[in-house]
Copies of this chain bind each other. A is one copy, B any other.
Amino acid sequence: MKIVRWDEDAYHFAAEKMQKIGLHASDGFFLDLYCLEPGQEQKAHAHDGSDKVYLVVKGQGRFRIGDEEATLSAGESVMAATCDMHGITNDSGSQLVVLTLMAPPPAPRAK
């Protein structure tokens, strides 16, 4: 059995942009950790035919879902349904880690 860590041992940050750490994936989904330094973002975008869930693991940031924005902290989560615009901005002064699910994965997978 392949045991995959999803705690701080798996986090990876880089000065140039948000990092995506792939945890698990299949034809039906992918599950990543997104690691954002202060000031980094995932620009708002949408997927036709896939839902996405953001679960905040560490820190806090500003999340856009559709036309709404809210600040989420560790222990909170939101879903963007198919075609909903969604994005993240780490407007805090600390590192932000977000467990991110997409189901089904986009084809081809854009990473």
* A residues adjacent to B (C-beta < 8 A): 1-9, 23-24, 26, 28-29, 31, 50-51, 53, 55, 63, 65-66, 68-70, 72, 74-79, 81, 99, 101, 103-104
Query: Which residue of the partner chain, among B26, B66, B99, contacts A103 with CB atoms under 8 Å?
Result: B26
Which of B2, B26, B63, B81 is A26 in contact with, Cβ under 8 Å?
A: B81
Chain B minimum-CB-distance residue to A82: B26
Q: How many Å from the CB of A50 to the closest CB on chain B? A: 7
From B2, B28, B68, B99, give the contact of A29 (CB < 8 A): B28
Give which listed residue, B50, B77, B99, B104, contacts A4 with CB less than 8 A: B77
Name A24's contact: one of B9, B50, B63, B79 (CB within 8 Å).
B79
CB <8 Å contact, A50 and B23 = no
